[in-house]
């Protein structure tokens, strides 16, 4: 069942990426983040009130630290998704295991065994391979923002561990993050006046895409949290890279983005980095038992 939850999360996140790409040519970045947050906020709040559950968290400061990193990663990642080929943007955002390994090694002084060092080297090789076609098309700055999303996501994932240890329920973690996305996007829209979806004439597709990305984003977040909390962390971490494959499929079949051979090599190397890193972490935990 754990594997099914993660595969569902991958399908949801891959579909969310497609919705962002489709909506990105008609609406603003602020609107994309707004709907990504507001749709789950409304849905989860209604469900919690019906169930008689409290929306107040006893560990609000843990949420704050996690959400600061997570919301920065979201804004950067969504911007990269609107500007880059879907497979390229998704791959760069999924470099977080590489940065987690580097943070634990360089900041916390955690020793690396040969397997983890191999994962870091493979991950860097994958990043270089993915960036090469981007550099050739003068989109390096945008690609670096996408890569930054992967780096900041690593910090957010490390904060999630603290929330799990505090026994914070999954739905409230997702709710608080979605609420942060809603607030920051509203501030952005009020400050810059970029609200285009209701002023556009003709097709109602942009609004439908925005609603869909909010639904799939919230559902993916819940499925991801359930997967990580229901069994082997290693299995969940390894399976999450299926999102890149889903995004690549959508990019080819729907958007007509055919990755170059160099990009394919980079995608495979980054997936290998994540899988090896997750397995090495799994072995490290077993050795301490």
Q: How far is CA 121 from the centre of its chain?
A: 22
Angle between the N-to-C axes of helices 170-192 and 205-229, in degrees from 0 to 180, rounded to the nearest 10: 150
Write the pLDDT tens digit of every residue in 224-277: 877 766 555 556 666 777 888 889 899 989 999 888 888 888 888 888 877 777
pLDDT band at 153 (very low <50, low <70, confident <90, very high): confident
Taking the C-alpha atoms of residue 277 and residue 124, their distance in angstroms, rounded to an integer, is 13
Taking the C-alpha atoms of residue 215 and residue 162, their distance in angstroms, rounded to an integer, is 26
pLDDT band at 286 (very low <50, low <70, confident <90, very high): low
Q: What are phi and psi of 56, to 5 degrees?
A: -80, 135
Write the pLDDT tens digit of every residue in 53-80: 999 999 989 899 889 999 999 999 999 9
Taking the C-alpha atoms of residue 282 and residue 191, their distance in angstroms, rounded to an integer, is 46
Write the pLDDT tens digit of every residue in 253-268: 999 988 888 888 888 8
Q: What are phi and psi of 124, to 5 degrees?
A: -65, -40
Give the CA distances from residue 48 to residues 40, 170, 171, 215, 246, in Å, rounded to whole numbers and listed in that order: 12, 12, 9, 17, 31
**Cα-Cα-Cα-Cα dihedral of 148, 153, 158, 162, to 10°?**
140
Mean pLDDT over residues 28-34, rounded? 94
Q: In this predicted structure, what is the pLDDT of residue 50?
A: 95
Ranges of each domain in the chain:
2-288
The pLDDT of residue 201 is above 60: no
Q: In this predicted structure, what is the pLDDT of residue 156?
A: 83
Mean pLDDT over residues 151-167, rounded? 81
The pLDDT of residue 91 is above 60: yes
Taking the C-alpha atoms of residue 70 and residue 88, their distance in angstroms, rounded to an integer, is 20
Taking the C-alpha atoms of residue 172 and residue 187, their distance in angstroms, rounded to an integer, is 23
């Amino acid at each position: 069942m754990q594997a099914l939850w993660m595969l569902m999360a991958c399908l949801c996140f891959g579909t969310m990426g497609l919705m962002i790409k489709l909506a990105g040519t008609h609406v603003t970045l602020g609107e994309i983040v707004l709907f990504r947050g507001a749709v789950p906020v409304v849905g989860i709040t209604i469900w919690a009130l019906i169930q008689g559950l409290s929306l107040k968290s006893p560990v609000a400061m843990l949420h704050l630290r996690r959400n600061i990193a997570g919301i920065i990663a979201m804004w950067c990642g969504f911007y990269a998704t609107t500007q880059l080929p879907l497979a390229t943007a998704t791959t760069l955002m999924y470099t977080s295991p590489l940065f987690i390994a580097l943070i634990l090694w360089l900041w916390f002084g955690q020793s690396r065994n040969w397997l983890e060092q191999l994962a870091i080297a493979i991950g860097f090789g994958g990043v270089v391979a993915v960036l090469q076609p981007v550099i050739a098309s003068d989109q390096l700055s945008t690609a670096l923002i996408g890569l930054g999303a992967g780096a900041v996501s690593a910090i957010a994932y490390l904060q999630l561990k603290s929330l799990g240890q505090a026994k914070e329920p999954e739905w409230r973690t997702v709710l608080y993050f979605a609420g942060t996305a809603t607030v920051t996007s509203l501030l952005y829209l009020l400050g810059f006046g970029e609200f285009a979806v209701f002023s556009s004439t003709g097709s109602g597709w942009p609004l439908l895409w925005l609603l869909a990305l909010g639904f799939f984003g919230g559902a993916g977040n819940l499925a991801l949290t359930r997967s990580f909390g229901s069994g082997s962390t290693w299995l969940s971490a390894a399976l999450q890279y299926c999102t890149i494959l889903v995004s690549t499929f959508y990019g080819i079949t729907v958007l007509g983005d055919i990755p170059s051979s160099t990009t394919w090599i980079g995608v495979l190397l980054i997936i290998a980095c994540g899988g090896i890193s997750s397995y090495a972490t799994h072995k490290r935990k077993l050795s301490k038992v």
